[in-house]
Amino acid sequence: MSHSDNPAASPVLIPVELLEQSGIVANCRMNRERTLFGTNGYETELGYNPFYVMLSKLRPGLTVGWLDLCCGSGRALIEALNHIQLMQFADRCEVIGVDLAGMFAGDSADLSCLQLVTASVTAWHPTRQFEVISCVHGLHYIGDKLGLISRASSWLTDNGQFMANLSLENIKLNDGRPAKRIVAAELRKQGLVYDATRKRVFCHGRRQIELPFRYLGADDHAGPNYTGQPAVDSYYELLTS
Ligand SMILES: C[S@@+](CC[C@H](N)C(=O)[O-])C[C@H]1O[C@@H](n2cnc3c(N)ncnc32)[C@H](O)[C@@H]1O
């Protein structure tokens, strides 16, 4: 039963190890197959095309990087890499996709500048900074959503861009206060852009973010969010008001 069925029930908060084994996160019916272009593709869902953003950062002598967190099958990355190879830019781009499920599309073997990594984004660390970091409908399944946003913002280059879908309805404060406005205001205070209408968060340029929230745990019985798919609520304590 989800909390939308019985809002009075207190949620049982689970730690990351249990969350990552939960049927909500390891759900085989979720859409992991988004492509780069077209209806429901990365460009439509983010309002930016991360591939074009990466290309716009190409400079002589520079290897540009695109990191896709919760990349699903990696289809969007493979599509981008096919274009990159046709344009003969493969030695100037590094594209990395990270996903917990490891259900990657089979046709990525000969794309040398693409790495698809099976790992949890909550534990994985990059070894470089990125011109583009995307997370398309991945934060809905992460426990510490704000922690991941902070870490990703610190992995950008000075002129890099982070872009992700984020539903603030899935962030809760343990004292029962509605979190939406408080969290949106704190994100903006740190220089991030939150588009409440389209439920997207952006960071332009590397930032060391310090948000006044302590992560408490996740509720995997939150029920469907605006995507129509069951999502995870993330609980925080507000450290200052
Ligand atoms: C709705 S799918 C989106 C996949 C892809 N971005 C797309 O749009 O096609 C969400 C993805 O998040 C992944 N995921 C959930 N929790 C994760 C975690 N802790 N670390 C890495 N990936 C995770 C799931 O395995 C799933 O592939």
Tens of pLDDT, residues 30-40: 889 999 999 99
Q: How far is the CA of 219 from the centre of ligand 1 (A)?
A: 17
Residue 9: CB atoms within 10 Å: 11
Enumerate residues 6+ apart whose C-beta is below 8 A from 3. Answer: 9, 11, 219, 221, 222, 223, 233
Domain count, the chain: 1
**Residue 95: inside a domain:** yes
Q: Which of 27-31, 72-76, 185-189 has the lowest mean pLDDT?
A: 27-31
Residue 176 has pLDDT above 80, yes or no: yes
What is the predicted pLDDT for the residue at 108? Answer: 55
Tell me if 54 sits within 8 A of 114, measured CB to CB: no
**Residue 162: inside a domain:** yes
Q: Is 159 in the pocket of ligand 1 (CB under 6 A)?
A: no
Residue 234 has pLDDT above 90, yes or no: yes
**Residue 176: inside a domain:** yes
Band (pLDDT 50/70/90 cuts) for residue 92 is: very high
Tell me if 205 sits within 8 A of 177, measured CB to CB: no
Tell me the DSSP string of 61-122. Answer: T--EEEEEET-TT-HHHHHHHHHHHHTT-GGGEEEEEEESS----GGGTT-TTEEEEES-TT
Q: Is 149 in the pocket of ligand 1 (CB under 6 A)?
A: no
Range of the domain at 142: 16-238
Tens of pLDDT, residues 132-151: 999 999 999 999 999 999 99
Residue 21: CB atoms within 10 Å: 12
Tell me if 233 sits within 8 A of 227, measured CB to CB: no
**Residue 89: inside a domain:** yes
Q: How far is the CA of 99 from the centre of ligand 1 (A)?
A: 6
Residue 164: CB atoms within 10 Å: 25
The residue count for the chain: 241
Q: Is 121 in the pocket of ligand 1 (CB under 6 A)?
A: yes
What is the predicted pLDDT for the residue at 110? Answer: 58
Q: Is 136 in the pocket of ligand 1 (CB under 6 A)?
A: yes
Tens of pLDDT, residues 47-90: 999 999 999 999 999 999 999 999 999 999 999 999 998 999 88
β-strand partners of 96? 67, 115
Band (pLDDT 50/70/90 cuts) for residue 10 is: confident
What is the predicted pLDDT for the residue at 29? Answer: 80
Q: Of 25, 36, 70, 100, which is best to mutate to test ligand 1, by the most ligand atoms within 8 angstroms of its C-beta?
A: 70
Residue 240 has pLDDT above 80, yes or no: no
**Residue 5: inside a domain:** no
User: Phi and psi dihedrals of 197, rounded to 5?
Assistant: -70, -45
**Residue 8: inside a domain:** no
Q: Which of 197, 167, 198 is nearest to 183 (CA)?
A: 167
**Residue 11: inside a domain:** no
CATH number, domain containing residue 212: 3.40.50
**Residue 29: inside a domain:** yes
Question: CA–CA separation, 160 vs 212, rounded Å?
Answer: 24
DSSP state of 190: T
Does the CA dihedral 234-235-237-241 come out positive or negative? positive
What is the predicted pLDDT for the residue at 57? Answer: 96
Q: How far is the CA of 6 from the centre of ligand 1 (A)?
A: 27
